[in-house]
A and B are shown apart, each in its own frame.
Chain A
Amino acid sequence: MKIIVLMKQVASKDAILRINKEGTWIEEGDLSFEVNESDGYALEEALRVREKLSGEVIVVSMGPQRAKSVIKDALARGADRAIHVVGDNLAHLTPYAAASALAEAIRAEQPDLIMTGLQSDDYGYAQTGVIIAELLGMPHATIVIEVDASGDKLRVKRELESGWYQWYSMPTPALLTIQSGISQIRYATLKGIMAAKKKEIKEVTPSAEIVSRLSHQQLRRVYLPQKTKQTQFLGNGDAKAGAVALAEKLHVEARIF
């Protein structure tokens, strides 16, 4: 089974986000980056399917050169090879344009299965995977938390709202968007890191047409959300003093105990 996994590099969750001068995005100069959370789970699931059924896992990431660190980490964890769709502004495409560029890079591989994360932690569009499935003419399922690829049809468990689930089956090739927590993610071993050095990373650039023609939605301004609630901040930066004040407030003001 040939499996493509889409992995996006995003700002680290712990990073302090500073808005750029123009107010159009965040300052990326000194930012730390990591792999998008659900994409890490997508890779893990792909590796597990390969271990059961044999085949190949190909990582595809689109973004500037720094995205190589995500690719190398995936190769160290066991992916077989990678395609890097390179370009400085490709992380800022609309989902339709991003999906078009990614579909173009994937198409010739003719994968049996494509796995993506369910949404990116920066833009949070929750669309790229579904659009790729449409562009490549594949059936899809979103928010998948269990995959059974052993039968002649693919059977997947989807998470629905408020504690409900549903199984779906569909023919391959198919695309799945993977929910975090589907399985426990493995770490890269030293051996894996050494082996990764010999694995292929193919660089491709998307056609200019794809990148330019599709700006049907434009981000105008980025800013801090307005606070709606009056929070009483306690301790003035001193966590211990804050804790003493909080115990008092919970007792006297909120009358919790």
Chain B
Amino acid sequence: MSSGILVFIEHRDGVVSKTSWEAIAAAQSLGSQLQQQVSAVILGSDLDAMAQQIAAYELVKVISANNSKLASYTPDGYTDALEKVVRQLDPQLVIMSHTYLVRDFGPKVAARFGKSLISDCIRAQVADGSITFTRRIFLGKLDADVVSDGAAPVFATFQSGAYRPDQAAKGSGSPVEKQEVEVGEIRMTPEAPFQEVKQAVDLSKAEIIVAIGRGIKSKENIALAEKLAEALGGDIAASRPICDAEWLPIDRQIGSSGQTVAPKLYIALGISGAIQHLVGMKNAGTIVAINKDPEAPIFDIADYGIVGDLFEAVPVLTEEIKKIKGLS
């Protein structure tokens, strides 16, 4: 009979990823509500130090699954290894963080069990021994409650930020179970990860950022936002679609695949507020959103909001700021 919760630990360059502590927090929270024990699994080839670090958390055990073929991540290697561990442990529930790496191999593991992941959840509630997962759909505009049919194993991934890493509870030292895990043929050959040449624009120290999204409609209209940025003495930035369209260079992009910023003031013009954008700017001091859709998710993190047409609001805002500053 399947039982327990297995939490997947991700690491890079010998360091456990921050999202793994979030995943432990998620698994512990569900574990205590469901009265299920939580184990952790880490995959790789040189894991002893990390396995010890994980063992400090409140877990029944840490499975350290080793194979030299797991020295660098590949979806083939990780899928084979995790499948083996899941079959052997036979848990009710497998918890992972919805990172790029898990997006790459998680669905493949679940498919080996004839199912898909309940992916990118933002919370989970337990009632009468069963879990209701909540996922954001339509790029954050709506929430959806999802239940599984309960047949083990259930695979669920959580969005970064759904649980706090410091919620993960430490214990009195859990046993580490080191094993050699079998891995089949690896078809893909990874090269070393790299960063593009140093970006020309570093927005991480900017005090004021005026960011534009698809609501700006055309490249020509960017001048409008630039005038506002100029009046404020700030920098211009953008959501991904603006950089995808090459209206602004990629070093102006804010979000999970762009820069992370924390200015005093962030003004979002015509940006809907998808999670991949929010992770790059949610720590700004004051957040302003101008959007014609009152339900746009960006308003959920905005201190000040204007529901309306940015083409009406922005010129007036620029003039008013100049007036107050005595510039006009």
Contacts and interface: CB of A to CB of B under 8 A. Distances in A.
Contacts of A247: 317, 320-321, 323-324
Contacts of A223: 142-143, 145
B112 A219 contact: no
Contacts of B136: 124, 225
A71 interface: no
Nearest to A257: B325
Contacts of B324: 247-248, 251, 257
Q: Which of A123, A229, A242 has the most CB of B within 10 A?
A: A242
A164 to B, nearest CB: 5
Contact of B149 (A122, A127, A217, A222): A217
Nearest to A236: B307
B276 to A, nearest CB: 10
B3 interface: no
A237 B303 contact: no
Contacts of A26: 138, 142
Contacts of B301: 229
Interface residues of B, number: 98
A239 interface: yes
A222 B148 CA distance: 16
Interface stretch (A13-21, A72-80, A197-205): A13-21
B53 interface: no
Contact of B309 (A19, A99, A125, A239): A239
Among B137, B243, B246, chain A packs the most CB atoms within 10 A around the CB of B137
A86 B252 CA distance: 41
A99 B286 CA distance: 43
Contacts of A126: 98, 103, 107, 119-120
Interface string A165-199: 11111110000000111001000000000000000
A256 B144 contact: no
B295 A224 contact: yes
B257 A159 contact: yes
Given A96-B111, A141-B188, A170-B187, A240 B312 contact: yes
Interface string B247-280: 0000000001111100011000000100000000
A139 B290 CA distance: 44
Candidate in B98, B149, B321 with the most chain A CB atoms within 10 angstroms: B321
A53 to B, nearest CB: 20
Contact of B107 (A130, A170, A180, A257): A130
Contact of A181 (B214, B240, B310, B314): B240
Place the interface of chain A in its size category.
35 or more
A57 B188 CA distance: 24
Given A220-B145, A256-B286, A95 B265 contact: no
A235 B295 CA distance: 16
Contact of B286 (A218, A222, A250): A250
Interface stretch (B22-30, B61-69, B164-172, B192-200): B192-200
Most A-side CB within 10 Å, residue of B107, B142, B317, B323? B107
Contact of B137 (A124, A180, A214, A243): A124
B92 interface: no
B195 A165 contact: yes
A108 interface: no
A6 B112 CA distance: 22
Contacts of B295: 17, 224
Contacts of B272: 13
B214 A229 contact: no
Contact of A139 (B137, B188, B256, B299): B188
B188 A170 contact: yes
Given A13-B214, A124-B137, A180-B240, A220 B146 contact: yes
B235 to A, nearest CB: 14
Contacts of A130: 75, 103-108, 111
14 contacts: A96-B116, A122-B137, A126-B98, A127-B119, A131-B108, A139-B76, A166-B194, A217-B118, A221-B145, A231-B289, A243-B314, A248-B324, A254-B265, A256-B264
Given A180-B240, A229-B300, 10 more contacts: A13-B272, A127-B119, A130-B107, A160-B193, A217-B118, A222-B144, A227-B300, A228-B300, A237-B308, A239-B307
Which 4 residue pairs across A and B have the least CB separation, nearest first? A239-B308, A181-B244, A247-B320, A242-B306
